Amino acid sequence: MRFNRKDILGIREMGSDEIELILDTARSLRDIITRTIKKVPTLRGRTVVTLFYEPSTRTRTSFELAAKYMSADTVNISTSTSSVRKGETLKDTARTLEAMGAEMVIIRHPVAGAPHFLARNLRASVVNAGDGMHEHPTQALLDLFTIREKKKRLKGLKIAIVGDILHSRVARSNIWGLRKMGAEVVVSGPSTLLPPESATLGVKATHRVEEALEGADVVMVLRLQLERQRKGLFPTVREYTRYWGINRERLRLARDDALLMHPGPFNRGVEVSSDLVDGNQSVINKQVTNGVAVRMALLFLLLGGKPDEISR
Ligand code: CP
């Protein structure tokens, strides 16, 4: 299959064949990360810019490392030290970067649709690194990669996603991706944090976390955004942990070989108990490593690489 996209804006518009191609390409590239010399010449001379209007550790660093491992030149724009502080618009900032030779702009923005707006206004490729409450497609791709690697399939698995589903771009992208790949998804959290359109998204929603966990192959825990409490969406953090926190006793409801996942950053002892984060069912660090491989695959495919041309 040929990869014909200029941009990666969301999982919603992707086909299952495209998702497979990205995951297969990531698998071919992942060895590079474990070598002593982590460098291939594949993207030598190509220029990639990260433009983040929100904080990030994992996404931004893994894109930067992915580009460096493939010999691309990278520039990170921090909005706190750029002309964004002087009122420069998103479009003007991005066009300025393009005029300097950027061939790809990786953007995180608090407003849903900001990457789509840039994609319409730039010749450069645009990658959505998280837009508001809308999508975080590269997180979902690395989650799919991790599940497929561990379980050898996606089709037919039961995936429980627990937490603040309503405000989570990670949940939304994962729901699209998992459903396209044939998995069953059940979401759980306080009723105030469950999206009203769950049925439209093709998932079952329940405020009883035990129901979601029963027989699950994968338990994906989301970060509790503590600021939601100020908005009255749940009474106290302690009560949240009591009813929806994932601890050893609750995890026993899932299959014995269930994977525990979290996109990070996590609040230890709030949405997930600290012992589980470090326990043998946790694949949280694997997700981080796989994030580099998946982002290498996206850089490679978007910048015109063909899967049979991967340099080793
Ligand atoms: N999962 C995730 O997007 O983490 P960062 O905010 O650290 O990039």
- Cα distances (Å, whole numbers) of residue 290 to 23, 63, 101, 139, 284: 10, 12, 29, 10, 10
Looking at residue 200, its pLDDT comes to: 72
Q: Which two tokens stand for residue 156?
A: 């037919």
How far is it, in rounded angstroms, from Cα 105 to Cα 50? Answer: 6
Question: What are the residues facing 160 on neighbouring strands?
Answer: 186, 219
- Site residues for ligand 1, CB cut-off 6 Å: 56-59, 130, 139, 263-265
User: Amino acid letter at 292?
Assistant: V
pTM: 0.95
- Which ligand 1 atom sits nearest the alpha carbon of residue 54? 6
Mean pLDDT (whole number) for 157-184: 97
Digit-coded pLDDT (tens) for 279-301: 999 999 999 999 999 999 999 99
Helix/strand/coil (H, E, C) string of 270-305?
CCECHHHHCCCCECHHHHHHHHHHHHHHHHHHHCCC
Helix or strand or coil: residue 163? Answer: coil
CA angle at 271 for the pair 242 and 141, rounded to the nearest 5° = 145
pLDDT digits (tens, 9 = 90+) for 5-18: 999 999 999 999 99
Q: Could you give the angle at the alpha carbon of 155 between the alpha carbons of 33 and 144, nearest 5°?
A: 25
Distance 101 CA to ligand 1 centre (A): 27
Token pair 């026993």: residue? 252
Ligand 1, closest atom to CA 263?
1
Q: What tokens appear for 299 in the block?
A: 């850089």
CA distance 306 to 249: 47
Cα–Cα distance measured from residue 231 to residue 217, given in angstroms and rounded to the nearest whole number: 33
Q: Which of 54, 59, 222 for a ligand 1 pocket mutation test, highest count of atoms within 8 Å of Cβ? A: 59
93-111 b/e with 16+ CB inside 10 Å = b? bbbebbeeebbbbbbbbee
Instruction: Say if residues 274 and 268 touch (Cβ distance below 8 Å).
Output: yes
Q: How does DSSP classify residue 55?
A: -
Mean pLDDT lowest among 156-160, 191-195, 283-287:
191-195
Predicted pLDDT of residue 60: 97
Ligand 1 pocket mutation pick from 52, 139, 168, 225 by most atoms within 8 angstroms of CB:
139
Q: Ligand 1 centre from 288 Cα, in Å?
A: 10
Taking only the tens place, the pLDDT of each residue in 20-32 is: 999 999 999 999 9
